[in-house]
Chains A and B, each alone.
Chain A
Amino acid sequence: MAEVIKVEKLTVEFPAGGAGQQTKVAVKNLNLTVSSGEVFGFLGPNGAGKTTTMNVLLGFVNPTSGSASIFGVDVRQPIARQRIGYLPELTYYYKFLTAEELLRFYAKVFRIPKDQVESRIDEVLKLVELEHARKRLIKTYSKGMQQRAGLAQALINDPDLLILDEPTSGLDPIGRMKVREIIQRLKNEGKTVFFSSHELGEVETVCDRVAILNQGELKVTGRVDDLVRENQMNLEKIFLEMIGYKSPVTV
């Protein structure tokens, strides 16, 4: 299968906050590949370097060393993002726009032909179940609706790779289920999905492969089924072991 994401020896350092402090290493020598059609779960505790890695893939942060490419194109080239859909952890959009206007704007950015724009907008709004609120200003949306509007903008260009940063955080159970259904549907359509999450049960259900990151270092990567079989424990326990967590009760 073709490699969609390729990360080689990626290191990201941030300048220290105060004088005399050392630089903070957010990601250390990371190697990662994600193949076409995979649903890839990117796991790790808070501050593990997941979002930084995603920020490098999206060109928000420049790597200190190493390289990253998407569809074989260096991530620093804007064209690398032509076939990507991205949903950030916190979804905030232009509050003075309606969902329809927002999608029209992003469609223009993706140079979707004019005669296809309206049908594409209809399609994604139907997918995320926001047809009824398409002419309402985004600022009037509930959090779940805003998250779905975010998903709609990520899908407007019919992307081959979807990068989702904790897509279900802060959503109610129904909202989570809807997002999960959408990811499943995209998987069935053969799309590649790269997403980070703290919901390990969810990851276990949806993902083909996972990578666990701790303090900027890759601890383990592999197929979910293989990891569970090899370690004789569920994903949550594997995760806790990899990050070196010891329960105070056990101690």
Chain B
Amino acid sequence: MMNNAFALAGIVIKELYRRKDFYVLFILTALLTLLLGSINFFNEQNIARYVKEFCLLLIWIASLVIAVTTTARQIPAEREQRTIFPLLAKPVSRGDLIFGKFLGCWIASGIVLVVFYVFFAVITGAREHHIHVAAYFQAFWMHWMMLGVVVGMVLLGSIVFAAPSSNSTISFVVILGILLVGRHLNKVADSLAEPTSSILYTVYYVIPHLEFYDLRDLIVHNAGSAPWWAVGVATIYAMVYAALFQFVAWMTFRRKALN
């Protein structure tokens, strides 16, 4: 299984670096960050936090766009361009296909993140004359783990929804919804009457809490790093959700007729 999965992952990674999406988003992020960083605010040379915040925001947007759009098109494109037929005519199971696509999109997102975070470290290092290596590594790691959940979720969506565009749109709404209000759903539930309250509480416990993986505030405000044990637990949490989404995707896909 791993042999096939890594072979498929290699193809996804090749696709990413041969397409222009990543380069465009990286250049855009770099240009906007440098442009904003060059603005003079009241002759203060050492202002850094707004640049960090802006750069991290762009990195989050770019990484989500790359992860979601790359993942959403994988299986629909295989079916639409009929490349899935010669592929599955080889000793490749549908489980291999799902796992391989997941691995490819996740590793590709990780490579993208490395490039973005190195740029971020260089920019902040130049402004603050100091790089918080542990905190930055944590931010990268947690971001990557979150993208694992996102990739799993979008992969499942690509089995359910035939069109990549509808899958991408729905995925973006769900992901942004979780990131923005996921943390507060219980508070909202408390203020509602039954049965809405219980339903919302169920949603609160069921959704993957992607907001755990957003360490931007800690980095922007130089608030140190998160406890390592918590990072470890969050890593396991992300892996469980990513596996769950892949399992459901496989369950849906394994008996689906391809013609």
Contact = CB atoms under 8 A, between A and B. Distances in A.
A87 B86 CA distance: 7
Contact of A61 (B18, B89, B259): B259
Interface in A35-75: 51-52, 55, 58-62
B89 A84 contact: yes
B258 A96 contact: no
A125 interface: no
Interface residues of A, number: 37
Interface stretch (A101-109, A191-199, A211-219): A101-109
Interface residues of B, number: 27
Interface in A179-197: none
B105 to A, nearest CB: 15
A26 to B, nearest CB: 9
A101 to B, nearest CB: 7
A59 B254 CA distance: 10
A60 B257 contact: yes
A81 interface: yes
A61 B10 CA distance: 27
8 nearest interchain CB pairs?
Answer: A86-B89, A108-B7, A60-B258, A96-B18, A78-B93, A92-B81, A88-B85, A78-B91
Given A60-B85, A61-B259, A97-B14, 6 more contacts: A81-B90, A86-B86, A86-B90, A96-B15, A97-B11, A101-B14
Interface of B: 3-4, 6-7, 10-11, 14-15, 18-19, 81-83, 85-93, 96, 255, 257-259
Interface of A: 14, 51-52, 55, 58-62, 78-79, 81-82, 84, 86-88, 90-97, 101, 105-106, 108-111, 150, 153-154, 157, 163
